[in-house]
Amino acid sequence: MTGPALLESQRVRQEIRAGRITGTSRGLAHGFVQCNLAILPREYAFDFLLYCQRNQRACPVLEVTDPGSVTPKKLAPTADLRTDCARYAIYRDGVRTEDRTDIAELWCDDLVTFLIGSGISIDGALENAGVPTHKDRWVLRTTLPTEPAGPFRGDMIVTMRWLTGPQAITATQVTSRFPFNHGAPIHLGDPAAIGADLANPLFGGTVPPTPPGIVPAFWACGVTPQSAAENAKLPFFISHAPAHSFITDLPAQALMSA
Contact between residue 36 and residue 118 where contact means Cβ atoms under 8 Å apart: yes
Highest mean pLDDT among 79-88, 175-184, 234-243 belongs to: 79-88
Contact between residue 99 and residue 83 where contact means Cβ atoms under 8 Å apart: no
Q: Is residue 176 pLDDT above 50, yes or no?
A: yes
Q: Is residue 194 pLDDT above 90, yes or no?
A: yes
- Mean pLDDT, residues 215-241: 93
Q: Quote the CA–CA distance of 148 and 129 in Å, as a whole number.
A: 36
Query: 98 pairs with which residues across the strands?
Result: 90
pLDDT number for residue 146:
97
In tens, the pLDDT along 65-89 reads 999 999 999 999 999 999 999 999 9
In the chain, the percentage of residues whose pLDDT exceeds 70 is 98
Q: Is residue 258 pLDDT above 70, yes or no?
A: no
Helix (H, G, I), strand (E, B) or coil at 59: coil
In tens, the pLDDT along 101-149 reads 999 999 999 999 999 998 877 888 898 899 988 889 999 999 999 999 9
pTM, entire model: 0.90
Q: Where are the alpha helices (DSSP H) in the chain?
A: 8-17, 45-54, 123-128, 165-175, 223-232
Q: In what order do the strands lie in the sheet with 187-188?
A: 137-145, 155-164, 214-220, 187-188
Helix (H, G, I), strand (E, B) or coil at 165: helix
